[in-house]
Structure 1
Amino acid sequence: MVLDKGEYSFSTCWNIKRHAVGSDMIEEIRGLGFKRVELNYNVTREMLTTIEPMIERGEIVISSVHNTFPLIDDPDYGTDSVLLGFDDEAKRKRAVDLLVQSAEYAARYGAAAVVVHPGEVPFEANIDQELKALYKEHGPDSPAYRSLWEEMLERRDSLRGHYAERIAHSLEDACGRIAAKGWDVTIGIETRSRCYQMPTLREARGIIDRLQGAKIGLWYDFGHGMMMERMGLYDNAEDMSLIMDHIAGIHIHESVGLSDHWCPYVHSGDMAYFDRFLPVIEAAPVKVYELKSACTPEEIDRSHGLLTAKLERLRTAGGRTGT
């Protein structure tokens, strides 16, 4: 029997490649027990023609939309770009316009938040891909990995202040325009999956502190956080307290090694590591599963059952997790 997932939402990233018709995609998600849905950045305007009537009839609730929304087929404004940190002023302003557009759709659908990948420290080549290959072949303590990691970190550290400034400026512009429209939508800046991308938890806190009063928070993506911890960029358990009071929403999934978007507990077989994120799940106003297509309905249901049982034990025990 499929569990009713209640307050939990589910991202269309799981099945969007299997469907050309938006309503069919949503019906498959409803079959998992989810009434709440996050519309991801691959949702097209054509898909929305069949999804919007479902929203209007109250068949689904949109928890969040993922910038850039709807789909923009331009890598400059895609999920892995400088985006809100562009030095080119015309490109930066276009990125802000697209974020405001995403917020307009969120407001129209009654969604609480827009998820955004804010930016990165640009590199000429994909150094993250090189590092992950070395990690898998030789391990994170190997001389080859450590040497390239230090090279990456030196450039990232030298430029992250500049790009954080650009990102904060863009977010200030976007939040001001959203507030002026009266849209009750929070911008969630997402922890990312590549080591040169921004923000880390500490970088997110710095940006949020700069924009006090704006409707902005961290969108904590747990699988990405796990990968960045394994690669050496930050420590989730150590830095989590910095952002606990500034969570806009979460993406729930687990990484197995450096492969992400798996079902928590089920695919790793580790019944303890993911527990560190339970207090964040409890605190998050928007809770979204963001799983890959390889996750089966049975695995999703089992994972959700394990997670919610652990959360119930956490509440009962007054903050201590059980395995």
Structure 2
Amino acid sequence: MEDKGVFSFSTCWNIKRHTIGSEMVREIRELGFRRVELNYNVTQEMLTTIEPMIERGEIGISSVHNTFPHVPDPDYGTDSVLLGFGEEDKRQRAIELLVRSAEYTQRYGGEAVVVHPGEVPFPNDISKELEQIYNGQGRDSEAYRSKWAELMERRETYSAGYVQKIIESLDEVCNLAVSRGLNVRFGIETRSRPQQIPTLAEAKTIIKALKGAPVGIWYDTGHAIMMDRLGLYDSVREMEGLMEDIVGVHIHETLGLSDHWCPYVNSKDMEFYDAYLPIIERAQVKVYELKAACQPEEIDESHSLLAAKLAARGQA
């Protein structure tokens, strides 16, 4: 496998196949990656065998994904209100966990923390309902329009309050990080469910409110494509005004509403993903975040295509 250079690779690809952290990381090394992103399912136990590899320089860490190491409590999982909690004790716990993720990032020589800021909670799993209607009847159906209107009504009613809480929490996180001598950036990630925060407009609001703080956007290309298809925002045009604030990217393509596929290779479309190359180019940290179904030879081919396209842009 060719050396993948500055590109990093998320442990989400193979974490379910391993219980020993060093074996998981070695498998990624065999793909040609010198750096990894440690995702939120990496446990404290796994770190006991990964940390010696980091210390010996066998692997570099680009980033960690909050909350890190793994926290089994769903209140602090990837799909929760997290930094937007109204209950102060829960919000403070979420803040401490994010600062802890940043401490691990710095200890391992990483550059950034991937942050899921929060969501507008719904009593029902509206994203699953929307996905079923989208796949069964299509986005132009009356059922879809009706369900989407229900989502947007609640989202527009409550999102501003949650965004404000998230801003307050990130401000506290950054102040704590500075007081502890941490020099890492926080990337608020584009999410995979339409009730989740931020939209690209909300990302602009959050970043502008925290101007001067080490907070920017973590642009997950596959998630953004999904939200574009569902109708939440324009994943390319609405990046205007955010290009200077990209901390990192998650590189993967979406087939329909199924994400974490190898760009170009699994879709067999050699042009669609090109729209996201300027965003990947601008990102400080570039991480492939692929699903277990992606085969090593597909990952290699996908990277070769992506790298060639980026090189051609640089020469143009």
Same topology, TM > 0.5: yes
Instruction: Give yes or no for the alignment of 1:190 onto 2:175.
Output: no
Aligned to 1:124: 123
Give matches, 1:55-134, under 5 Å.
55-134=54-133
Instruction: Give yes or no for the alignment of 1:52 onto 2:51.
Output: yes
Paired-residue identity, % = 63
Instruction: Give yes or no for the alignment of 1:256 onto 2:255.
Output: yes
Structure 1 CA distance, aligned partners of 2:222 and 2:315? 26
Structure 2 CA distance, aligned partners of 1:182 and 1:246? 22
| Number of residue-to-residue matches in the alignment | 316
Q: Partner of 1:37: helix, strand, or coil?
A: strand
Structure 2 CA distance, aligned partners of 1:313 and 1:54? 35
Structure 2 CA distance, aligned partners of 1:292 and 1:34? 16
Structure 2 CA distance, aligned partners of 1:250 and 1:238? 17
> What residue ranges of structure 1 are gaps of 5+ in the alignment?
318-323
Structure 1 CA distance, aligned partners of 2:6 and 2:82? 31
CA deviation string 1:165-202 (max 9, x = no partner):
00010000001100111111101100000000010111
Give the letter for the 2:136 counterpart: E
Structure 2 CA distance, aligned partners of 1:167 and 1:272? 36
Deviation at 1:316, TM superposition (A): 1.8
Q: Partner of 1:236: helix, strand, or coil?
A: coil
Aligned to 1:136: 135
Query: RMSD between aligned alpha carbons?
Result: 0.6
CA deviation string 1:233-276 (max 9, x = no partner):
00012101121000010100000000000000111111111111
Aligned to 1:174: 173
Give the letter for the 1:115 counterpart: V
Aligned to 1:299: 298
CA deviation string 1:188-247 (max 9, x = no partner):
100000000010111101100000111011000000000000000000121011210000
Moved more, 237-246 or 92-101: 237-246
Structure 1 CA distance, aligned partners of 2:266 and 2:111? 30
Report the TM-score when normalising by structure 1. 0.97
Structure 2 CA distance, aligned partners of 1:204 and 1:42? 25
Give matches, 1:227-266, under 5 Å.
227-266=226-265
Instruction: Give yes or no for the alignment of 1:155 onto 2:154.
Output: yes
Structure 2 CA distance, aligned partners of 1:240 and 1:131? 25
Contact 1:202 1:242 in 2 (8 A): no
Contact 1:16 1:42 in 2 (8 A): yes
Give the letter for the 1:63 counterpart: S
Structure 1 consecutive aligned stretches of length 4 or more whose deviation exceeds 4 Å = none
Aligned to 2:308: 309
Q: Partner of 2:236: helix, strand, or coil?
A: helix
Give the letter for the 1:236 counterpart: S
Deviation at 1:309, TM superposition (A): 0.7
Q: Partner of 2:57: helix, strand, or coil?
A: coil
Give the letter for the 1:161 counterpart: A
